[in-house]
């Protein structure tokens, strides 16, 4: 069985944005993206981090070294990342593409995921990170690509959220 269409689209969008480094903390839906990247986008380097804040640090270092990094995380990990984002990524104007697998939105079964899931967009707004949401598998590639392209052009990190409706399709 091949990767779901939304996951193939996310990979294509990351690639089209010029990103060849994906630093990640895994989650269940993202496993499809990781597998697809490993099999069909062999020029993309995958870097596993132990915690999301660490992932943002590694991505910042990759950018300083001339790369265009992507950080891939679950929405719950945004909370773990805020100090690195607000005191490194933003004040130093270090761009990166954030691909965020959403929990806590429509269809969630785990109440522990709900408060952060509900807060993700408000937090991103509060700290000034632009965000868009992939609403359908067909839109995945273009939505991810556009977020990355804007991030690297304007030197502000940008987030692309993957709704549960899409990642469970």
Partner 1 sequence: MTRLEATRAVVDAAGDGPIVASLGHPSYDLFVAGDRPQNFYTWGSMGVASSIGLGLALARPDVRVFVVDGDGSLLMNLGSLATIGLLQPANLVLVLMDNEEFATTGGQPTPTAHGADLEAAARAMRINPTATVRTADQLRERLRDARMIVAKVAESAPTAKPPLDCVFIKNRFMSAIGNPESAVRHPQCHDHVS
Question: Which parts of this chain interact with partner 1 (CB under 8 A)?
Answer: 18, 21, 23, 45, 47-51, 53-69, 83-84, 86-88, 91-94, 149, 152-153, 155
Is the Cβ of residue 84 or residue 162 nearer to partner 1 in the bound state?
Answer: 84
Q: Are 60 and 52 in contact (CB under 8 A)?
A: no
From CA 54, how far away is CA 45, in angstroms rounded? Answer: 17
Is the Cβ of residue 99 or residue 151 nearer to partner 1 in the bound state?
Answer: 151
In the bound complex, what is the minimum distance in angstroms from residue 165's beta carbon to partner 1? 29
In the bound complex, what is the minimum distance in angstroms from residue 59's beta carbon to partner 1? 6
In the bound complex, what is the minimum distance in angstroms from residue 66's beta carbon to partner 1? 4
Is the Cβ of residue 119 or residue 146 nearer to partner 1 in the bound state?
Answer: 146
Q: Are 77 and 29 in contact (CB under 8 A)?
A: no
In the bound complex, what is the minimum distance in angstroms from residue 102's beta carbon to partner 1? 24
In the bound complex, what is the minimum distance in angstroms from residue 44's beta carbon to partner 1? 13
Is the Cβ of residue 50 or residue 111 nearer to partner 1 in the bound state?
Answer: 50
Using CA atoms, how far residue 104 sits from 60, 75, 85, in Å, is 28, 8, 22
| Helix, coil or strand: residue 84 | helix
- In the sheet with 69-74, reading across from the earlier edge strand, the strands are 45-48, 21-24, 69-74, 97-101, 158-162, 131-134
Where are the alpha helices (H) located in 4-158, listed in sequence order? 5-16, 30-40, 52-64, 77-84, 114-127, 140-154
Is the Cβ of residue 106 or residue 126 nearer to partner 1 in the bound state?
Answer: 126
Using CA atoms, how far residue 74 sits from 1, 42, 104, 153, in Å, is 24, 23, 11, 25
């Amino acid at each position: 069985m091949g990767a779901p269409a939304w996951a193939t689209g996310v990979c294509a969008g990351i690639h089209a944005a010029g990103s060849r480094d994906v630093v990640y903390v895994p989650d269940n839906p993202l496993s499809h993206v990781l597998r697809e990247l490993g099999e069909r986008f062999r020029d993309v380097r995958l870097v596993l981090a132990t915690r999301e804040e660490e992932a943002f640090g590694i991505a910042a270092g990759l950018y300083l070294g001339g790369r265009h990094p992507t950080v891939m995380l679950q929405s719950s990990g945004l909370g773990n990342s805020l100090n690195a984002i607000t005191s490194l990524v933003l004040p130093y104007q270090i761009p990166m593409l954030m691909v965020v697998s959403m929990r806590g939105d429509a269809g969630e079964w785990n109440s522990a995921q709900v408060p952060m899931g509900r807060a993700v967009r408000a937090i991103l707004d509060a700290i000034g990170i632009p965000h868009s949401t992939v609403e359908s598998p067909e839109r995945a590639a273009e939505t991810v690509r556009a977020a990355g392209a804007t991030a690297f052009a304007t030197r502000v990190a940008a987030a692309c959220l993957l709704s549960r409706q899409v990642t469970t399709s």
